Chains A and B, each alone.
Chain A
Amino acid sequence: AQRVTQPEKLLSVFKGAPVELKCNYSYSGSPELFWYVQYSRQRLQLLLRHISRESIKGFTADLNKGETSFHLKKPFAQEEDSAMYYCALSGTGGYQKVTFGTGTKLQVIP
């Protein structure tokens, strides 16, 4: 069974402070990991995926297979980063069901 755990429902940080949104997963095979973001009154959208190794809006995430983690990080939080963030997992190769975490609300305090 595949499972995604986001232990924090709410994370509040001051503007300019570093951000780390935690994500741990459980999967027996080779996973593909994603971070999705939902800004207020907008639809869920893909932020980044581990296979692309991109930095989007200053966010990065590294897949740590030893710790089964895919934490989302940004060195300096901005007010516009306030949103709901969902970590998601799927297998690789053809159709694989995507499993989402329960989400973490990031609140950046000015």
Chain B
Amino acid sequence: NAGVMQNPRHLVRRRGQEARLRCSPMKGHSHVYWYRQLPEEGLKFMVYLQKENIIDESGMPKERFSAEFPKEGPSILRIQQVVRGDSAAYFCASSPSDSVNEQFFGPGTRLTVL
């Protein structure tokens, strides 16, 4: 089992561009979580998804951010019209259906907005 995969590992965007971050959960996991880690801060919950459903998006900024977890393929975190304040490490985690509180993390994507 390869574990949770995230790509790209590093992403550089200019202000106003779009950023797409991908997360492939562990095999057999149908629950995906996205977190953001700003410099000098802890992990902040963003969104929790199951296949084709957003279950909890209480941590998502109201504008420019969206997430999906389609029936086929990875989960995508999309940030439109990026600003410098979006620069952060974005972590994805997954969990198996029968133990939703234990999460397995990916290596993260470090987004830098110039």
Residues of A that sit less than 8 Å from B by CB: 4, 6, 32, 34, 36, 43-46, 49, 86, 90, 92, 94-103
Contacts and interface: CB of A to CB of B under 8 A. Distances in A.
Interface in B31-74: 33, 35, 40-45, 48, 55-56, 58-59
A52 to B, nearest CB: 10
A97 B45 contact: yes
A101 B42 contact: yes
A46 B26 CA distance: 15
28 contacts: A4-B42, A32-B101, A43-B4, A43-B105, A43-B106, A43-B107, A43-B108, A44-B43, A45-B105, A46-B102, A46-B103, A49-B102, A86-B42, A86-B43, A92-B101, A95-B48, A95-B100, A96-B100, A97-B48, A97-B56, A97-B58, A98-B33, A98-B103, A99-B45, A100-B35, A100-B45, A101-B42, A102-B41
Contacts, number: 53
Nearest to B105: A44
Interface of B: 3-4, 33, 35, 40-45, 48, 55-56, 58-59, 91, 93, 100-108
A7 B9 CA distance: 30
The 8 residue pairs across chains A and B that have the minimum distance between CB atoms: A102-B42, A100-B43, A44-B105, A43-B107, A100-B42, A43-B105, A90-B101, A103-B42
Contacts of B103: 46, 98
Contacts of B3: 43
Contacts of B44: 100
Nearest to A100: B43
Given A34-B101, A98-B45, 18 more contacts: A32-B101, A36-B105, A43-B4, A43-B106, A44-B43, A44-B91, A45-B104, A45-B105, A46-B102, A86-B42, A86-B43, A94-B100, A97-B45, A97-B59, A100-B42, A100-B44, A102-B40, A103-B42
A37 B78 CA distance: 27
B101 A96 contact: yes
